[in-house]
């Protein structure tokens, strides 16, 4: 009897380990297949001296955020690919960048609000939200929030200590072998981080943390131009991401149950604030502070969406 009990426990642990390993590998592979080519491309640009040229073009926007111009390439890559592509460029550009924790948090926040635009804007469009307004909301939202966060951090001397960075940076010595070894080490670190995130997500589901977030946010969302039908779906999208939330919105819009206005409001809020758990943990792993990348982002997104909804109501009333 006792032996059977131990065997069952062992089998359960074995299945759990296999499940965690499988999910970690699948997620890591999706990341690694992006980060390696991006890291190589960035290294080539660096060796050709083109990084500095691109930095000059992007420097004005980065200056608004209080960041070095070189980091503009990080955000630009995240905008066109995804956050993992941005992380790969970030790791490649680390040598010579003396960043504070506040600067890393500002960069992470901008990437969290605006990334993967080609894919995520197409999801928003299919859900029924106009593409250009959502794109402007996300881009301007990222710049405005980054600017405000930077000013707050400077005014209150918040997170001004040197950033503790996850990735290993190679000194600019032209040693390609050392660069390759460091990149390999970074890829290994990525796998470790993904594993920890997978474990955290399992724990959050098991203890009901995700359900708690849903309960906290769902009653509030009707004040932001959404009915009781759109609010729970929006909360799921905010927690799990636009791909998942957008798919639910698309399914609901096909039934005609959601008004056009609340679909737009839902996608606007999701655009500013999504992936609250997994994406936030990824940005925390590279040095972002939770006060900026999570709590500040939630508050900012709710305020912007509220003002947007009220502004649209006033415009509609005037007409």
pLDDT, tens only, 145-164: 999 999 999 999 999 999 87
Q: How confident is the model at residue 25 (pLDDT cuts 50, 70, 90)?
A: confident
Instruction: State the pLDDT at residue 10.
Output: 75
For the chain, give the mean pLDDT.
80
The neighbouring-strand residues paired with 100 are 162
Percent of the chain scoring above 90 in pLDDT: 26
Q: Please state the pTM of the whole predicted model.
A: 0.78
How far apart (Å, rounded) are the C-alpha atoms in residues 312 and 316? 6
Q: Are 103 and 289 in contact (CB under 8 A)?
A: no
Q: Which of 162, 151, 46, 112 is nearest to 294 (CA)?
A: 112
Say yes or no to pLDDT of 46 above 70.
no
- The percent of the chain in helix, strand and coil, each rounded to the nearest 5, is 80, 0, 20
Angle (CA) 45-121-33 rounded to 5° is 40
pLDDT, tens only, 170-182: 545 456 777 677 6
The secondary structure of residue 172, as a DSSP letter, is S
How far apart (Å, rounded) are the C-alpha atoms in residues 129 and 11? 47
Say yes or no to pLDDT of 52 above 70.
no
How far apart (Å, rounded) are the C-alpha atoms in residues 193 and 28? 9
Higher-confidence position of 207 and 304: 304
Residues 127-135 have a mean pLDDT of 88
Q: How confident is the model at residue 54 (pLDDT cuts 50, 70, 90)?
A: low
pLDDT winner (highest mean) among 41-45, 81-85, 163-167: 81-85
Residue 226: count other Cβ atoms within 10 Å of its Cβ.
26
pLDDT, tens only, 231-259: 777 777 788 777 666 666 677 777 777 77
Instruction: State the virtual CA torsion across 44, 49, 51, 55 in degrees, nearest 10.
Output: -170
How far apart (Å, rounded) are the C-alpha atoms in residues 186 and 178? 12
Q: How confident is the model at residue 50 (pLDDT cuts 50, 70, 90)?
A: low
pLDDT winner (highest mean) among 30-34, 231-235, 293-297: 293-297
Residue 8, classified by CB atoms within 10 Å of its CB into exposed (0-12), middle (13-18) or buried (19+), is exposed
Cα atoms in the Cβ-side hemisphere of radius 13 Å centred on 113: 32
Say yes or no to pLDDT of 169 above 60.
no
How far apart (Å, rounded) are the C-alpha atoms in residues 147 and 141? 10
Q: How confident is the model at residue 307 (pLDDT cuts 50, 70, 90)?
A: very high
- Domain count within the chain: 1
Q: How confident is the model at residue 308 (pLDDT cuts 50, 70, 90)?
A: very high
Higher-confidence position of 181 and 107: 107
Q: Are 108 and 293 in contact (CB under 8 A)?
A: yes
Angle (CA) 115-121-126 rounded to 5° is 150
Say yes or no to pLDDT of 298 above 80.
yes
Residues 63-89 have a mean pLDDT of 86
Instruction: State the pLDDT at residue 145.
Output: 98
How far apart (Å, rounded) are the C-alpha atoms in residues 58 and 153? 22
DSSP H or E stretch at residue 58: helix 50-64
Say yes or no to pLDDT of 3 above 90.
no
* Domain with 120 in it: 2-318
The secondary structure of residue 289, as a DSSP letter, is -
Residues 139-149 have a mean pLDDT of 97
């Amino acid at each position: 009897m006792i032996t059977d009990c131990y065997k069952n426990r062992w089998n359960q642990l074995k299945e759990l380990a296999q499940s965690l390993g499988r999910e970690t590998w699948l997620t890591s592979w999706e990341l690694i297949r992006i980060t390696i080519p991006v890291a190589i491309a960035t290294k080539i640009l660096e060796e050709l001296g083109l990084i500095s040229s691109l930095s000059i073009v992007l420097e004005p926007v980065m200056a608004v955020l209080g960041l070095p111009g070189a980091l503009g390439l990080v955000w630009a890559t995240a905008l066109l690919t995804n956050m993992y592509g941005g992380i790969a460029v970030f790791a490649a550009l680390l040598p010579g960048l003396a960043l504070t924790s506040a600067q890393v948090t500002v960069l992470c926040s901008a990437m969290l609000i605006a990334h993967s635009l080609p894919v995520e804007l197409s999801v928003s469009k299919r859900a029924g939200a106009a593409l250009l307004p959502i794109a402007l909301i996300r881009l301007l939202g990222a710049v405005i929030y980054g600017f405000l966060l930077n000013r707050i951090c400077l005014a209150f001397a918040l997170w001004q200590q040197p950033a503790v960075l996850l990735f290993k940076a190679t000194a600019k010595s032209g040693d390609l072998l050392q660069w390759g070894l460091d990149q390999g080490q970074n890829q290994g670190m990525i796998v470790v981080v993904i594993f920890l995130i997978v474990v955290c997500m399992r724990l959050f589901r098991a203890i009901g943390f995700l359900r708690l977030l849903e309960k906290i946010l769902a009653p509030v969302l009707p004040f932001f131009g959404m009915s009781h039908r759109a609010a729970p779906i929006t909360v799921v999208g905010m927690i799990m991401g636009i791909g998942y939330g957008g798919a639910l919105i698309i399914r609901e819009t096909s039934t005609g149950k959601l008004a056009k206005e609340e679909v737009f409001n839902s996608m606007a809020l999701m655009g500013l604030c999504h992936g609250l758990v997994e994406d936030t943990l990824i940005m925390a792993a590279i040095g972002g502070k939770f006060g900026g990348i999570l709590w500040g982002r939630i508050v900012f997104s709710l305020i912007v969406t509220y003002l947007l909804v009220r502004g649209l109501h006033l415009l509609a009333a005037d007409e």
